[in-house]
Amino acid sequence: MAVNPNAAPQSATIRVCPSCGAKNRVLADRAVDHPRCGRCRADLSAPGAALAKPVVVTERTFAAEVERAELPVLVDFWAPWCGPCRAVAPVLEQLARERAGRLKIAKVNVDENPALSARFGIQAIPTLALFRNGALVDEIRGALPKAALEARLAAKGAG
């Protein structure tokens, strides 16, 4: 395909894949065509879809996904072998769906991201850390029932 040097530049947006976290450049005229992630082929068509489920965050993506997020972010520090972590996961998925656009839920696997665990002094899991404007504003240790977690979030004005 030949590129026309006289053509007007196309506007594009960057969309973060809700599945793998890859950044994808989506041309404005292609946004209605259900664009897919270049890395994992996940659907990128709904801009808010990434917020409707927890986002996997790593040491590499933490600053972009949490510290520079416009919304409050509830970070779940967890591990796959942890029973209470697995028990709280469905509650977090439900909160992500219910509060999409008001609260972002992020998950950090402590085994795969030891520097983040050390940075925030994570000594027990699950630990839920609430960030607003990049600052840690609350920390919850242990698996809370949904009602208790919602009350805690409401008290901190998160979503």
Q: Which residues are catalytic?
A: 82, 85
Residues 66, 55 contacting (CB under 8 angstroms):
no
DSSP letter (8 states) at residue 53: S
Cis bond upstream, residue 126 (ω within 30):
yes
Which pair of tokens denotes residue 95?
A: 């909160």
> Residue 77's beta-bridge partner residues?
108, 127
| Tokens at 93, concatenated | 């998925």
